[in-house]
């Protein structure tokens, strides 16, 4: 759907509360109401990262398709990959509603969903029905009332091993009390040891090694970033996802909604998440894959994440404002950038603005 019809559909969705609108958009994708609109394949955008070949570097971030209802439909509208979840072992309702807020003038979202999801079983059943070729990652987390959070992550690895092309260990949601404490050095070491041991065991049994990424918060101190980098390099982790939502409310125009508790995402997160991305790239060196997330709204912002050190990017919030044509528009824009700058691969711009972004005090 493009042009005036898409505009009206989006205006209509904005009259609804954000969670109802989200549910309708999932229904539309399921029913095929959103037509396939992928940009033409462009070998200059193809990336091989952590042993996986991504047709383009633009992915759907976790949280949109928490229960794996529409991963293949998201790939059909132009995303090069998609991440389902966060899924927890047992279903849980999440926090009380309302718990998603649009900050329209800032093109931002605040959410305090709290890992509402249908649990491992429901997502697994749906993923079993998907093509094994589809580039679908599974983002795993812990139940709010879990007595052993690390065991919940290990259960995620074991349960989804046959169907996941990659895993994301999400330790950075601000909406599950205490979850971000897993980023502290000793807890992180214990988590990575357990999760990677489970992966190695499953890889031994299946003959297939599924990469694992770690998703971190943008609200880290320099020391916190040092600790994460040291642990990541000390373990056989496959990459980082930078970043989740922020607790910061800096620079917002919409002061009324800014007071809502939860994680902020969308345009105002771009600077901060890109600065943390570059600082982590400096710390981990050029070889470790990094997926840049936070405020990607256009081909230019996607390219800027790559210039700051990202191999791939993901987005969620700006699609709320730009509509389902956004991933294909970004992909076409990246192809145009390759034409303009005569690039053999989009990868050629990686790190070209690393120093600039690493020096930003966002």
Ligand X SMILES: Cc1cc2nc3c(=O)[nH]c(=O)nc-3n(C[C@H](O)[C@H](O)[C@H](O)COP(=O)(O)O)c2cc1C
Q: Residues in the site for ligand X, rule: CB under 6 A?
A: 61-63, 66, 85-86, 100, 109, 111, 113, 139, 170, 173, 215, 244-245, 265-266, 269, 293-296, 315-318
Question: Cα(358)–Cα(335) distance, rounded to whole angstroms?
Answer: 26
62 is in an annotated binding site: yes
**CA-wise closest residue to 297 among 106, 110, 134:** 106
317 is in an annotated binding site: yes
Residue nearest to ligand X (CB): 63
Which alpha helices (H) appear in the chain, and where do they start and end?
3-15, 18-31, 71-76, 119-128, 149-160, 185-206, 222-234, 255-258, 270-284, 299-307, 317-322, 326-340, 354-358
We find the least distance from the C-beta atom of residue 167 to ligand X, in angstroms, to be 12
Question: Cα(150)–Cα(156) distance, rounded to whole angstroms?
Answer: 10
We find the least distance from the C-beta atom of residue 338 to ligand X, in angstroms, to be 23
Question: Cα(100)–Cα(233) distance, rounded to whole angstroms?
Answer: 36
CA angle, residues 216, 66, 327, in degrees to nearest 5: 80
143 is in an annotated binding site: no
Would you list the DSSP string of 71-119?
HHHHHHTT-SEEEEEEE-SS-B--SPSP-EEEEGGGTEEEE---S-B-H
Query: Which CB atom, from 66 or from 350, has the smaller least distance to ligand X?
Result: 66
Query: Which CB atom, from 22 or from 307, has the smaller least distance to ligand X?
Result: 22
CA angle, residues 198, 202, 208, in degrees to nearest 5: 130
CA angle, residues 356, 357, 362, in degrees to nearest 5: 125
We find the least distance from the C-beta atom of residue 318 to ligand X, in angstroms, to be 6
Annotated catalytic residue, options 173, 273, 297, 335: 173
245 is in an annotated binding site: yes
117 is in an annotated binding site: no
Pair 91, 120: CB distance under 8 Å: no
Query: Which CB atom, from 272 or from 282, has the smaller least distance to ligand X?
Result: 272
316 is in an annotated binding site: yes
Question: Cα(14)–Cα(323) distance, rounded to whole angstroms?
Answer: 11
Ramachandran quadrant class, 232 (left: phi over 0; alpha: psi -120 to 50; beta: rest): alpha
66 is in an annotated binding site: yes
We find the least distance from the C-beta atom of residue 219 to ligand X, in angstroms, to be 13
We find the least distance from the C-beta atom of residue 162 to ligand X, in angstroms, to be 22
25 is known as an active-site residue: no
Query: Which CB atom, from 47 or from 117, has the smaller least distance to ligand X?
Result: 117
Pair 83, 168: CB distance under 8 Å: yes
Query: Which CB atom, from 132 or from 177, has the smaller least distance to ligand X?
Result: 177
We find the least distance from the C-beta atom of residue 326 to ligand X, in angstroms, to be 10
Query: Which CB atom, from 50 or from 318, has the smaller least distance to ligand X?
Result: 318
**Would you list which residues are annotated within the binding site for substrate?**
66, 111-115, 170, 175, 244-245
**Would you list which residues are annotated within the binding site for FMN?**
62-66, 86, 139, 170, 215, 243, 266, 295, 316-317
Catalytic site positions: 173
**Would you list which residues are annotated within the binding site?**
62-66, 86, 111-115, 139, 170, 175, 215, 243-245, 266, 295, 316-317
């Amino acid at each position: 759907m493009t042009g005036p019809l898409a505009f009206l559909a989006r205006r209509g969705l904005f009259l609804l509360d954000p969670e109802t609108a989200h549910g309708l958009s999932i229904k539309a994708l399921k029913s095929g109401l959103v037509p396939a609109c992928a940009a033409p394949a462009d070998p200059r955008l193809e990336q091989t990262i952590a042993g996986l070949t991504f047709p383009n570097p633009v992915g759907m971030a976790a949280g949109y398709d928490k229960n794996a209802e529409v991963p293949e439909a998201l790939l059909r509208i132009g995303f090069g990959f998609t991440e389902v979840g966060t899924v927890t072992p047992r279903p849980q309702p999440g926090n009380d509603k309302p718990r998603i807020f649009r900050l329209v003038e800032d093109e931002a979202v605040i959410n305090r969903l709290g890992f509402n999801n249908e649990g491992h079983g429901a997502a697994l059943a749906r993923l079993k029905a998907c093509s094994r070729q589809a580039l679908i990652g599974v983002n795993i987390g812990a139940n709010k009332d879990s007595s052993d959070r690390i065991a919940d992550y290990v259960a995620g690895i074991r349960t989804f091993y046959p169907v996941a092309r990659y895993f994301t260990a999400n330790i950075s949601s601000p909406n599950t009390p205490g979850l971000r404490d897993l980023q502290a050095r000793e807890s992180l070491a214990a988590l990575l040891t357990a999760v990677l041991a489970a992966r190695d065991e499953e890889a031994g049994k299946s003959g297939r090694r599924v990469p694992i990424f770690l998703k971190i918060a943008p609200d880290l101190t320099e020391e916190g970033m040092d600790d994460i980098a040291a642990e990541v390099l000390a373990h056989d982790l496959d990459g980082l996802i930078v970043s989740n939502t922020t607790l910061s409310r800096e620079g917002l125009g919409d002061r009324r909604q800014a007071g809502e508790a939860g994680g902020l995402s969308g345009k105002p997160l771009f600077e901060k998440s890109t600065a943390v991305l570059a600082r982590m790239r400096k710390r981990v060196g050029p070889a470790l894959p990094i997926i840049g997330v936070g405020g990607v709204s256009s081909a230019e912002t996607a390219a800027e994440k790559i210039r700051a050190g990202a191999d791939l990017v993901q987005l969620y919030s700006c699609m709320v404002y730009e509509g389902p044509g956004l991933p294909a528009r970004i992909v076409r824009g990246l192809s145009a950038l390759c034409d303009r700058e005569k690039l053999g691969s989009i990868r050629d711009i990686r790190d070209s603005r690393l120093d600039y972004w690493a020096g930003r005090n966002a």
